[in-house]
Amino acid sequence: MRDFWKAQVEIERFLSLEARLLEQNRFDEWIDLFTDDVHYVMPVRESVEPAATGGAAAHSTGFALFDDDKRSLELRARRIETGLAHAEIPLSVTQRLITNVLVEDSDVAGEYMVGSNFLVYQERRGRHSHTFIGSRRDRFVMVGQKWKIDYREISLAQTVMPATISIFF
């Protein structure tokens, strides 16, 4: 039980620090929070009849918004750092609220499934803003002495997104 609460406190702190890295556009340090074999995915949301399926299905076999590994996340970061990616010129101001952090045991001892909710406010050039809202499901594993994420599934609450996405979640 003591390990569990220790993990809850450490992981909450991890997620807050992660949000700060993204707010400060420190992409390499952010990517370093993931394992080398990370799977980073944001499915597409749609509602399907009959409603018995839950009405809102996320299809792993269908299309997706993100379906990335470490190499493609790094390529995305390199693109922004070229200084030629207009969607991030000037860099967006983002403010990130991370809440409802729930650490749960996984099938493997010492690894945890972690749910969190997020609200990400994105400001463009002082003229436009978008808000993305949703939840994440992360798997935390210990690599060396450090927590890392080896799986992240991001579920946006929005079906029609307010804008294209040039930021990370």
Partner 1 sequence: MTQFQSIVRPEKGLIGSEVFSQELYELELERVFGKSWLFVGHDSMIPNKHDYVTHYMGEEPVIVLRDSKGAVRVFLNKCRHRGNALCLYDRGNAQSFTCSYHGWTFTDGDLTGIPYYKKAYLEELDMNEWGLIEAPRIDTCGGLIFACWDANVMPLDDFLNEGKWYLENFLLQEEMGGLEVLPGPQRYIMPINWKLLAENFAGDDYHFVSTHASVGQALSAGQDNRIAVTPGAVRENTHDFSVVTGYRNGVPHGFLELKCGPGPLDQDLNQAKSMSKEAVEWVTERHRRLQERMSAFDSNPHSFHAGNIFPNLALIGAGSALYGKGLICHHPRGPNKTEVWMWCAIEKSAPEEVKERQRFVLLQRQAAAGMVAPDDHENFQRISENLHSPESRKWPLHYGMALGHDDDDPRPTELRNDRQWPGHLIPQYSEVIQREFYRYWNTLMTADGHE
Cα–Cα distance measured from residue 16 to residue 118, given in angstroms and rounded to the nearest whole number? 11
Which residue, 84 or 108, has its beta carbon nearer to partner 1?
A: 84
Contact (CB, 8 A) for 167 and 22: yes
Q: How far is the CB of 83 from partner 1 (least distance, A)?
A: 8
> Roughly how many angstroms between the first and final C-alpha of the chain, as a whole number?
30
Contact (CB, 8 A) for 161 and 132: yes
Name which of 139, 141, 133 is nearest 160 in CA terms. Answer: 133
Which residue, 16 or 159, has its beta carbon nearer to partner 1?
A: 159
Which residue, 10 or 69, has its beta carbon nearer to partner 1?
A: 69
Q: How far is the CB of 36 from partner 1 (least distance, A)?
A: 12
**Residues contributing to the site for partner 1 (CB under 8 A):** 42-51, 55, 59, 61-68, 71-72, 74-76, 78-82, 84-87, 89, 124, 127-128, 159-166
Q: How far is the CB of 22 from partner 1 (least distance, A)?
A: 15
